[in-house]
Amino acid sequence: MEEGLLMAGSKSNINAASGECSDFMNPSGSSSATPVVVLSTLVALCGAFGYGCAIGYSSSAESGILEDLGLTVAEYSVFGSIMTIGGMMGAVINGKITDLIGRRGVSHCITFYNWGC
C-alpha cells in the first residue's frame, strides 16, 4: 500500500529499534540542503540576537531613561512589555501578509519601505 509513496529505484534502510536510517542512494550523508539550513539558522539567530540587544540596552539604560523621561518603575516596565507585545503582533501581521502576497513579496515590500525611510 505504501509502495506508491517510495521513489522508484530508491532503497532505504530504516531500523525501527534504534531509530537509525541509512540511505543507499547517498551513502556519504552529505546533502545540498546543508548550506541553506546553516544560512537559515544564522539568519534566525541574528534576529534573536538583535532583539536581545534591544532588550539588553533598555535594561542597562534603565536609570538614565527613568531620570530623563521622569518615569516611575511601573511606567518603565510597560516599555519592556510593549516590545514583547509588539513582537507578537508583528509576527502575526507579517504571517498574514505573507499568506496574502508571498514570502518574496513581503521581502520586497520591507526592502522598499526601508529605502524610503
pTM for this entry: 0.44
112, part of any domain: yes
**Number of domains, the chain:** 1
Per-residue pLDDT of 101-113, as tens digits, reads 988 888 888 888 8
79, part of any domain: yes
9, part of any domain: no
pLDDT at 72 over 60: yes
Mean pLDDT of 2-15: 52
Q: Which domain holds residue 67?
A: 34-116
Summary mean pLDDT of the chain: 76
Contacts of 76 by beta carbon, 8 Å cutoff, 6+ apart: 62, 65, 66
Cell numbers that stand for 34 in this block? 546543508
Bigger pLDDT: 80 vs 94: 94
15 strand-pairing partners: 20
Cell numbers that stand for 54 in this block? 534591544
12, part of any domain: no
